[in-house]
Structure 1
């Protein structure tokens, strides 16, 4: 029960504020206020759930996550367990407020990264050496992104670090093994070629002395076998080079022109009418283009070869179309050692398959051959 005037005034004020008195014009707003409070409560619960999921993810991933101050002498603000373990610390508390430069093998590297980050706003997959607490070093792939305040200044830096030390060691060991194998293969191939040349020379001398037709026929067959051996040796050289170099973006039109320049265009008119594209492929793609053009010159009896491009169904087709006799038997077309194309088409398919590029022949017999090289989405882009 209210006894004083002051109590009456306070109660009246309270009722007006929350809109509960019958006379208050704010009473009608109470349901809306209640609904807004409920919505806010739901949003807060969702935010808390999202934060819990984020924290669980950060704490359980196998890559290091770090947040630091951006300036020189800045400190580590946050680090997940994976980063602590990576750098030899027991827990986050030991790493917090640790100077950022202290985890770099070369502290000046951090200053260079910050300068670059100020210009770009993000640095992706930068290889950097970190110093572990016990004095050893690790090689990491580091991605950094800048977070800004309302004035556009960097307030802190978020980073993701992956320890790639073992991966790089294995990759280097594999490179060394491949280099040794390639060297052995090259030396062996060179020695075999020399012996084949000597053998061919002896056969030429023998052919000058032999008069019997049957014996001369046998010598000719042996010469054919020698040429076949030489062809196999050259195949091993070409096949050895597949996949040695990393795939790269190649200018399609320039690669086509480079490949066609060594062909005899006195026999076949070559028309390059491709669009302007960059293609992501093995650098040996030029050999693929050469093989396709060379087959037309040697086997098609065509007068014209048209090289065009066509985009359809999120794919880029690079089309080699001639006006020759076409290909009747296509069953062994891309098989190793198929009769007419030798190893060229087999090699071409192998080169393209490294980066998931397809090839097919869909020409009608008697109407010319039509080879289509199929670049999937993401492995080509139009350029001006």
Structure 2
């Protein structure tokens, strides 16, 4: 009996254990069912979110494509279909840079691919701007979407899931052809307006200078001429008036040279600069001047057609102010910066150190003070500068620096 009761007790305990296990299993089953329902709902919500996202991408006004981590297309919206002429059905699921073909005519990495491998951005053929460390932006000219030329603004960025894991990349493409063309047209108009403004400024400068010469310089000489004419008339019989006549002639000569300068200055910059062989210019400019040792060879410079007048004024300056000058030497050498130095030097008395810059100012000097001023104005039209670098007492040396691209040797 004892054994039987013990067996019944054990059986009862096992039944209770089984009942407990059954209840635990039922609870676990309910929890699993709840978790499964939650998972199904989560999947449904995820799918709904993906559907909404896909719909949003599909109806974005800008052409958009999305690739996964393997570089396969998972989104190809309506705008990019219209831009490229390639339907979504032909592009979804494709990899191997197939999405580049409609734009570049070949399978090759585009901006979105460098999101997946940013370490290769240095090899990107675009001029890329990096925004916030992970967004790439670039402008691409002359791409060929749909067989036409275009300018495109492209922006690519990574895509992440809710856990922060990167799942792919998205590229948005905007056609900015019209705005680019408009921008270039505006830049051209601005450049043209700037050129016109510069021309007007140059014309105004000429008018002011010629007005100054006409109203001030020439009027002063006319007053000197008339004053000496009055003195000559008032002279008594037998009185020597040669001094008055000499002053009158000097004043008349200065007026003539001033008028000649205004004629030359008015023509400055009117004609297009041209290539001119220095040897030919020298022969035309100073046929009756001092002997010239011409070492310029085949050197030609791009300058205003009045370059001959500049060299004529250099010879006139040498003959008027060189005093003991007996010859002129013309030579040149190349500079390390790519420019060229053309030198006009004589063996006269030279220029005092304190006057080396003053001689190029209008009105400075013993004559009209216009010759060297005009030379600098002529040369500056094509960026040529001139300075006096000679040693006083040994001769004047005028160095003309010609920019790179403005000379031929």
Equivalent residue in structure 1 for 2:334, among 276, 290, 311: 311
Aligned to 1:254: 280
2:365 matched residue in structure 1: 339
What SS is found at the alignment partner of 1:242? coil
Conserved? CA contact 2:307–2:378, under 8 Å: yes
Counterpart for residue 150 of structure 2:
78
Alignment of 1:205-224 (within 5 A): 211=236, 213=239, 217=243, 220-224=246-250
- Indicate the larger mover: 346-355 or 203-212: 203-212
1:282 aligns with 2:282: no
| Partner-residue secondary structure (3-state), 2:254 | helix
Aligned residue for 1:297, secondary structure, equals: helix
The equivalent of 2:347 in structure 1 is 323
Aligned residues: 258
Select 1:233's aligned residue among 215, 237, 259: 259
For residues 85 and 340 of structure 1, do their structure 2 counterparts lie closer, same or farther at Cα, with a shift above 3 Å needed? same
Measure, in 2, the Cα distance between the counterparts of 1:237 and 1:75: 58
Q: Name the SS for the 2:316 alignment partner.
A: helix
Assess, with a 3 A threshold, how the Cα gap between structure 1 residues 79 and 339 changes in structure 2: closer, same or farther: closer
Q: 2-side partners of 1:205 and 1:286: how far apart?
A: 40
Q: Distance in 2 between matches of 1:312 and 1:175?
A: 31
Aligned-residue CA RMSD (Å):
4.8
Q: Deviations over 1:33-85 (max 9, x none)?
A: xxxxxxx95665555695754984427xxxxx44569xxxx952433455313
Q: CA deviation at 1:216?
A: 6.7
Higher-Rg structure is 2
What is the deviation of 1:306?
1.6
The answer to whether the 8 A contact 1:272-1:308 is kept is yes
Q: Secondary structure at the match of 1:333?
A: helix
Q: 1:224 to 1:305 in 2, by over 3 A?
A: closer
Match for residue 296 of structure 1? 318
Closer/same/farther in 2, CA of residues 82 and 287 from structure 1, 3 Å limit: farther
Match of 1:373 among 400, 404, 407: 400
Shift of 1:346: 1.9
Provide Cα deviations, 1:215-253, integer angstroms capped at 9, x if missing partner: 775565455444433333333333333333444433333
Distance 1:292 1:310, change over 3 A: same
| C-alpha distance in structure 2 between counterparts of 1:45 and 1:320, whole Å | 55
1:310 and 1:328 mapped to 2: Cα distance?
Answer: 25
- List aligned pairs for 1:51-200, cutoff 5 A: 52-53=128-129, 56-58=137-139, 65-67=141-143, 75-80=147-152, 83-85=177-179, 164-165=188-189, 167-168=191-192, 171=195
Q: What pairs with 1:15-26 in structure 2 (closer than 5 Å)?
A: none
Q: Is the 8 A contact 1:250 1:278 kept in 2?
A: yes
The answer to whether the Cα contact below 8 Å between 2:299 and 2:407 also exists between their aligned partners in 1 is: yes
1:374 to partner: Cα distance? 1.9
1:250–1:281 CA contact under 8 A, matched in 2: yes
Aligned twin of 1:271: 293
Instruction: Assess if the C-alpha contact under 8 Å between 2:350 and 2:396 holds in 1.
Output: yes
1:361 aligns with 2:359: no
Normalization by structure 1: what TM-score? Answer: 0.50
Could you tell me which of 341, 348, 351 is aligned with 2:375?
348
Q: C-alpha displacement at 1:274, in angstroms?
A: 1.0
Q: Distance in 2 between matches of 1:50 and 1:75?
A: 20
Contact 2:151–2:180 (8 Å) recurs in 1: no
Superposed CA offset, 1:118-151 (max 9, x none): xxxxxxxxxxxxxxxxxxxxxx9xxxxxxxxxxx
Unpaired runs of 5+ residues, structure 2, are 1-115, 131-135, 153-174
In structure 2, C-alpha distance between the alignment counterparts of 1:207 and 1:219, rounded to whole Å: 8
Tell me the TM-score normalised to structure 2 length: 0.48
Give the drift of 1:370.
Answer: 2.1
